[in-house]
Structure 1
């Protein structure tokens, strides 16, 4: 078995200490209800999924009558002795929770999710429940351990109120290779933002170093002195309105709050950004200038969405592009802008 095929991205079973392995074995006293090997294993030992058992079989880690069987479809019968060796499922530092998620892509190395706004990516001791990691841990059988017990699988992050594409690694090898792409800045990230005002330039690159704003907790600012870290964001105006614009942003670096701070710095704050904007929600009546019926809240969180992400697959090196459509609140705001704030002429 090649090292890259290992589910844990580490050592083959024969190189691991016994405490890191577990074994199952049984001699069939009766004909099984389903004689297909992978289905028999999943029914007999349901602590692991049928997909996991299929991989174990293909890797030669399932013996029938002391001989490795490499086809999940192989048949087992009364009197057969079945022996399985597999990695122990190390306990997570978090509790898997059945929170619904929208999976854009999944394979043995990674799971790509369309994150909802309003959910934190990973837990902490002070906030151990209700995060995206809790949800992904419930969905996926394995997550990488590189980030520690509170951040299993977390390769990169999105702010609580930013929606869109986010990737989780299922094993340590995939995590390391994905993290290297972020370090080397070979990942292409595309965001959609609705901002206040219309930028003077239809396209530009904002290159301003960022650092903590020590006057306000958990806030960042353009910081050209000591402690500022280089940050680059390319943007294009996709659609202009009366007093607003839809922009696409491609951050070259990945500083905390980078897009929000850069856009605010050039005078075009993200709509409904509680930390850097001028309001925490947008009402229909405000956009319609009193001409619309009702007083609907169009959006009540920052209008920022991770619309696309392009990486190389950590195992195959194939270029993969993942896209997430605009969420309902941003689409609703955009529709209202097109109706009520179309530019003159």
Structure 2
């Protein structure tokens, strides 16, 4: 095989399943590898980063067939030009070192190749004059993240010193992170602890799964209320580790996917049409409480918010019907 002279960071192999028969190559790879946009995938195909059955293919519209082996040479990221954008978000607390904010549902935290606009970082650059540079151009000030369709509290570092301290706190698991989750199904246990390792899915690169080869992950949950009529449960969730999609993967592994999370098993037909309407594209998962030591003063900072929309409206509907 030959490929572009760009530096390659990973080589991935995918096998085309019967359900993907006849799909465009760029569509198949966009679905299989969720880190890049479709337009960026198209560009990489045209530059020679993709092979089908060991033959180079430079045509994004090429139709794939069941059983074919797709090899994708993932290049290292290219520097992005990140521009400030006036994207609204609510601030809970701010001083010269940190900013605590409420990330709305639908907002991606940081840019990536093919997604250089419309992110929380773009919004932060518009609102905050200076951010920590430790995260690089693409992730200034970002010490942790929330998924695109999850809303709630985040802390961002405005100085490098604050960034280092916060990063250590997350790494040492001394940060308190609490979530509210609405899940499909009437959970039997009043509480429980899930300790299952998590790794990237071996076939679908957009997903993660419980795997013995994964990294340790610990999630604790407590039942708040069961909504018998709708077969939905409201949980209070604490995570001790910060694996990607951790709560979503862990709760799904018990058979209780988060409402709206079709990636991990939620079926739209399982809930009232009004709930689907109220949710939109959001997952019913909210980071409602975040506590940590102030990176400079050492003072314990404890922030708690009311559930933002659309979680609040969905919960009100469940309560009233």
Scaled by the length of structure 2, the TM-score of the pair is 0.71
Post-superposition offset of 1:282: 7.9
Summarize the Cα distance change of 1:314–1:280 in structure 2 as closer, same or farther, 3 Å threshold.
Answer: farther
Post-superposition offset of 1:330: 1.1
Aligned CA-pair RMSD: 1.7
Post-superposition offset of 1:129: 0.7
Alignment of 1:186-335 (within 5 A): 186-224=174-212, 226=213, 228-242=214-228, 243-279=231-267, 284-285=272-273, 297-300=277-280, 301-335=282-316
| Structure 2 Cα separation of the partners of residues 240 and 104 of structure 1 | 31
State the partner residue of 1:160.
Answer: 148
| Structure 2 Cα separation of the partners of residues 298 and 281 of structure 1 | 14
Larger radius of gyration: 1
| Structure 1 Cα separation of the partners of residues 256 and 198 of structure 2 | 17
State the partner residue of 1:15.
Answer: none
| Structure 1 Cα separation of the partners of residues 227 and 109 of structure 2 | 33
Post-superposition offset of 1:93: 4.5
| Structure 2 Cα separation of the partners of residues 180 and 245 of structure 1 | 34
Moved over 6 A (4+): none
1:254-278 C-alpha deviation (Å, 9 max, x unpaired)? 0000000000001111011021133
| Structure 2 Cα separation of the partners of residues 281 and 105 of structure 1 | 40
Residue-pair matches, total: 239
Whether the 8 Å CA contact 1:272–1:278 is kept in 2: the answer is: yes
Whether the 8 Å CA contact 1:274–1:302 is kept in 2: the answer is: no
Post-superposition offset of 1:126: 1.2
Whether the 8 Å CA contact 1:282–1:298 is kept in 2: the answer is: no
State the partner residue of 2:101.
Answer: 113
| Structure 2 Cα separation of the partners of residues 179 and 115 of structure 1 | 19
